[in-house]
Each structure stands twice: as C-alpha cells, then as structure tokens.
Chain A
Amino acid sequence: MATATDTTDTSPDERVPGETGMWFFVLFESLIFTSYFCVYLYFRTQDEGAFLEAQSALRLPLGIVDTIVLLTSSWAIARSVQEARAGRPAAARRLAFVTIGLGAAFSALKLVEWAHLIGDGHTFTSSDFMQHYFFLTGMHAVHLLIGLVALGILVHQLADPHRRSQETIETCATYWHTVDLYWVLIFAVLYIVR
C-alpha cells in the first residue's frame, strides 16, 4: 500500500532545487520573520491611529517599484538557473549579472526612501511604526547584501567549467528568491496593511 502511494507521489524527475540544508534555512528564517510580523501586527492593533499616521509617511509608488524590481530579479535568477541546467553558462552568467544589477537598484531605491524619511524627521526612535519599519527593512537589507555575495559566488561558478556545480548555483538562487519572498511579506505588512 505504501509502495503504491510512493509510486504515484514521486517521479524520477523530482529533486530538491539546491542543497536541502538551504531549504531548512529558508523554512526556519521564514518562521523567524513571521514571528516578527506577528509582533508588529499585534502592536499595530493596540495603537492603530498612531501607526496609521506614521505609515502615511511611506511612499507607496516607491514601494511598488521596489517590489517589481526585486520580483524581476527573481525572474532573472530563475532564468539563469534554467540556462545553467540547459548547459548554457554564458547566458546563465548574463542573467546572473542582470539579477545583481536589479539587486543593486533595489538597494539604491531603499537608500533613497530612507533618506527621504530621515529628511522628513522620521527615524528609528520617532514612532513605534518607524521602529518596526527601520528594523524590518534594515534586516531585509542585510539579507539582500548576503544575497549579493551569494550571486557573486554563482557568477564565479558559472565562469569556469571546472568549478561549476549546478547544486551550488541552485542553492545561491534559492537564497536570492528567499530575499524576494521576505520583501513580498514586508511590503504587505508595512505598506498596505491598514
């Protein structure tokens, strides 16, 4: 019976993208971020008026552009992995560079947003909302910087057939997607939730 179930559930083509350890990291970190989102949402419900007032300082169109830039970087790295799998490292490398460029563009946009907010007098200590905002976007920025290092490793791997490992390439890509995934949640809870 168990064998019959296994046969219908699993196909020989199925495999974990990248290293399994990275997936445990992704799941663990996602739970950490979720816990923090819960803390934020709880405090928000306790003082909705103050949170809404501070939240109005955020520029939603800039947040939308940030999100689209990061989503596009995720598309580019997914395509890069597909090209690497298909044995086209040059195309994979080009797409990895596009991803790095988009990651850098996201960082620049974030710096612009932080500069605007700080210029308008919104800092880490100016309100509870801003404390959560700067903490979450700051934590995300740290993850993004680590992601850029991972992309550097990916580009390095793609440059030379002797050191190329599809598993390492997929592991680095998985990490980058995770950076995108966290942003999708951060964007929803900080910019949209009312």
Chain B
Amino acid sequence: MATTSTETTTSTSSRLRTFVAWLLLVAVTVIYLGIDHSADDGGTLVASTAVTVSAVLLALVKVRIIMRELMDVRHAPPFLRRLTDLLVAVIGVSLLATYFVGQAIA
C-alpha cells in the first residue's frame, strides 16, 4: 500500500515536472516575438548582434530543457549527462564563433 502511494506521488511529480518543462519551452518561444519586434525598424528587418546572440542562447536553453526533462537525460548516467551538456556547449560556441568570425571577415 505504501509502495503504491509512493509510486503515485512519483508519477504525479514526474507528470508535473514534464508539464512545467513544456510550459517553460513555450514561454521561451514566445519571448522570441518580443526580441523580433525589438529588432525591426518599421517592418524592415535590421541586422542586430544582440538579437542574434539572444536567439542562439535561448535556443540552447530550450535544447538543454528538452534533453534534460523530456528526453530524461537527468536520470541518465553521468557520462550521458556530461556528453549532452558538452554538445550544447559545442553547438553554442560553434554558432557564435562562426557568426563573430564571419562578421570580422566581412
């Protein structure tokens, strides 16, 4: 009986945690609308380093939430947790470095 009660609590808490993760992902997606408007000049798109960096960083936050919470990496062994964190870092560094190097060359 006690085991069933614990299982139910765990199940409810997992369900809630997954829902909160989804809510956060949607909230971060909606933030993009604000960022987008801040960069536009009367309907014409304008270049913006701040918007580009924010877009990449917010995407990385979302990728990590998806991996940790929805793909259940938080319950995975340390090697997978570290490997996925390393992947997020590699993606971020690669994208931002390419952007800044490209700008410097241009």
Which A residues lie at the B interface, using CB under 8 A? 9-10, 13-17, 23, 27, 30-31, 34-35, 37-38, 41-46, 48, 52-53, 55-56, 60-61, 64, 67-68, 71-72, 74-75, 77-79, 81-82, 86, 170, 173-174, 177, 180-181, 184-185, 187-189, 191-194
Contacts and interface: CB of A to CB of B under 8 A. Distances in A.
B47 A194 contact: yes
Interface string B4-47: 00010001001100110110011001101101100100011111
Contacts of A60: 32-33, 36
- By Cβ-Cβ distance, the 6 closest A-B pairs, closest first, are A45-B102, A188-B59, A192-B55, A75-B22, A38-B98, A194-B48
A86 B13 CA distance: 13
B66 A188 contact: no
A67 B29 contact: yes
B83 to A, nearest CB: 7
Given A48-B47, A185-B91, A192-B35, A86 B72 contact: no
Contacts of A53: 45
Contact of A194 (B26, B52, B66): B52
Contacts of B62: 184
Given A41-B95, A192-B51, A17 B72 contact: yes
Nearest to B38: A194
A189 B95 contact: yes
Interface in B51-90: 51-52, 55-56, 58-59, 62-63, 66-67, 69-73, 75-78, 80, 83-84, 87, 90
